[in-house]
Amino acid sequence: MSLTVDIKLREQLLATARAMSTAGLNTGTAGNVSVRIDGGMLITPSGMPPGACTPDDMVIVAGDGSVRGRLAPSSEWRFHHDLYARRPEAGAILHAHAPFATALACQRIEIPPFHYMIARFGGNAVHCARYATFGTQALSDNILAAMEGRSACLMANHGMLVFGRDLDNALDLAIEFETLCEQYWRTRQIGEPVLLSDDEMAEVVERFRWYGKPRAK
């Protein structure tokens, strides 16, 4: 199967990867980002810092897992591939080793409903996926389980993962999520936070079904 990608999408993917570093979500070669295309995905390459990449370095991975490009895709391409297959609403996926998210992930804890904005990611808590070696099918399987009904998760002893409807949305959500992780971390320095109830969170989750969406005509 022949897959082609417009140069503007390659440029946008690279710009998003660079913006992750500017926003403090990543340093060096850590993390990766992808965008869905017809028949597969476009993803950042393995082991290259965004500042050293060109748009042509972005890698196509077809729906069957085959690779198109001169460079290898990110070592984490598998969970991107599997998430696109499982979650049709995912238009772009972002993985980062953001400081506060990673600190919480290394404690292997989920983020409870200490703040109503947790509902932004689809539920009353953000789960932490069980640990598995990076790049493995086991890690992908663990992430799929943690992301069930949600658009974000922590990855034990690793980092964070979010998806959005497109690259801009995924980046915005990643920054929001890292901010929540920092707020939770800081709150725990004072003591255990007072959590919202299931009923209170259910109401917020319902409100987020239309939050940020175009008004029906």
Which residues are catalytic, by number? 76
Q: What distances in angstroms separate CA 91 from CA 6, 23, 83, 169, 185, one per listed residue?
A: 16, 21, 10, 9, 29
Q: Rounded distance, CA 113 to CA 3, Å?
A: 42
